[in-house]
Amino acid sequence: MREAKVLLLGCSAGGFGLVYDLVLGLPEDFPLPVIVIIHRSKKYRSSMEELLDSKSRISVKLAEDKEQIKKGFVYFAPPDYHLLLEPEGFFTLDTSEPVMYCRPSIDVTFQSVADVYQENVIALLFSGANADGADGLAYIQAKKGLVGVQNPEAAEVRTMPDAAIGRCQVDMILSNSEIFSFIGSIATVLNSVKDGKD
């Protein structure tokens, strides 16, 4: 956790509310950029980012093509695009084929970000109705990043966390309250390291 450079969150069915509450709970000095990949159809306009940006203590937006990643922001993958991160630290929006019928794909983003940040990635996977994200978590873990899932018993739809647990030895299986505590500890640990209090 002390060397982390980015936090990744992924979910589909049943995970919207948890992600919403997590973003609202982030402190204004949260020390990492956050990238969120949620399965959602391009047919339905979502105002989630605008609503969160107006209510949260941290800036929330849709990721844009060629935008440089920065801490102090939560970036959502736009509907109908795969979200990639280039080695220079800027986003690319990609329209290649859906993965597991999904675009954006959690796997695609998780793997792309891990290629850039290597072991300095923290990734969490929540409720969802397919296995997207399992390969991405395994890929991050193979690069020595830190990976966790929502406890399947707590997930509204347990397929996604179950698939990840079956695919790799995840570092953490967290209840909803533990997810909030863990993300709070990221801020505490990294900000204390930055301030030289550790």
Active site residues per annotation:
12, 39, 132
The residue type at 31: P
Long-range contacts of 100-103 (CB under 8 A, 24+ apart): 100/130, 100/131, 100/132, 101/130, 102/12, 102/39, 102/130, 102/132
Separation of alpha carbons 113 and 83, rounded Å: 9
The residue type at 186: I
